[in-house]
Amino acid sequence: MTEDPIPELQKVELHVHMEGAVPAAFMRRLAQEKKKDFSQLFTDGGDYRRTDFLELLETYAALAALPDSPEDYARLTREMLQQSAAGGVIYTEAFLCPAHCCNNDLGAWKEITEAVREAAEAAETDLGVTLRLIVSSLRHQGPAKVRAAAQCAAETAGDFVVGFGMSGDEARGKFRDFTYAFDMAREAELGLTVHAGEWGPSRMVREAVEELRVSRIGPAPRAVEDPAVLELLRRHDVTVEACPGAGVALGLYPDLAHHPVEQIRRSGVKLTISTDDPAYFGLSMASEYAALRKTFGWDDEIFAQIAKTALDAAFCDTVTKAKLAKRLETAP
């Protein structure tokens, strides 16, 4: 089969960061409008600068401070969803970090999430892609700020803000340091996910599941290093939010053929595919699918199962899931 139908395959994406999903041109334009010089954060060719993961975190944090009003976040939302729709995505859960947006200020956070919601509703009508938010916290900022982000999540939890997660530098802190924040989010009936097992070893996947009691984990490629960890994921019914293209772009693997995504799929662990920070890595969901088809021979049946697994694991309400399930069932 050719790669031509890939954009038309309907996709569900669960692991994407909002500010990392808009083209560099959008952020450059925003910087110009605000008369701020961020040229050092872009390459000579105009792309985002990222030589390694830590520089990526620094660049991301600096540029994430550029949008500074609800109107900016509405524009950013529209731009991100245009990119998603172009890749065939019908539903996405995107991470948005209140520490980046507003230094965890609850009043400002409420205004931002309302602006994002309004932009998302308009985009759903125009573009056919549905958005829900996962409140993201930053592990390397420490437990106090992660708790503040969890408070923002709990105070805005509902049919639009549906989850809570934690990303950032895996080398900082222990998962047990963040249990209070995750318990806060759990009490607010938010879905829980966490970044683990990308730069850190497979034991970090185990610790995340056992100590934070998440139902999803990503990107988690190193889970394959320990069969007992894969068994733990199966036993606890944890879904992996794999981001294979990002893993290659970050230099974790020399190419897609060496990425363990196919091992995870064959292990029986629930698997989904996402792009993480697609604008930083030159990715889209369409390009991810095309690369997976070319490298591992995945056919439409496998991709349909990937989408179904993602929808089953989504944090949105049952009414939204039912509507999306019908779209997946009637897809060509």
CA–CA distance, 164 with 181 (Å, rounded to integer): 9
Residue 310 near residue 324 (C-beta atoms within 8 A): no
Which of 81, 90, 86, 82 shows the shortest CA–CA distance to 10?
90
Q: Which of 79, 93, 170, 198 is catalytic?
A: 198
Sheet holding 191-196, edge to edge: 11-17, 89-96, 130-138, 161-167, 191-196, 216-219, 239-242, 270-273
Phi, psi of 136 (to 5 degrees): -105, 140
Domains in the chain (CATH in brackets) are 29-66 (no CATH), 74-325 (3.20.20.140)
Residue 294 has pLDDT above 50, yes or no: yes
Q: What is the mean pLDDT of residues 276-281?
A: 94
What is the percent of the chain where pLDDT is above 90?
Answer: 85
Which pLDDT score, from 0 to 100, does residue 61 have? 84
Residue 2 has pLDDT above 80, yes or no: no
Predicted confidence band at 1 (pLDDT cuts at 50, 70, 90)? Answer: very low
The yes-or-no answer on residue 198 being catalytic is yes
Q: What is the mean pLDDT of residues 224-244?
A: 98
> What's 169's DSSP letter?
-
User: Is pLDDT larger for residue 50 or for residue 111?
Assistant: 111
pTM: 0.95
- pLDDT for 134-181, tens place per residue? 999 999 999 999 999 999 999 999 999 999 999 988 888 899 999 999
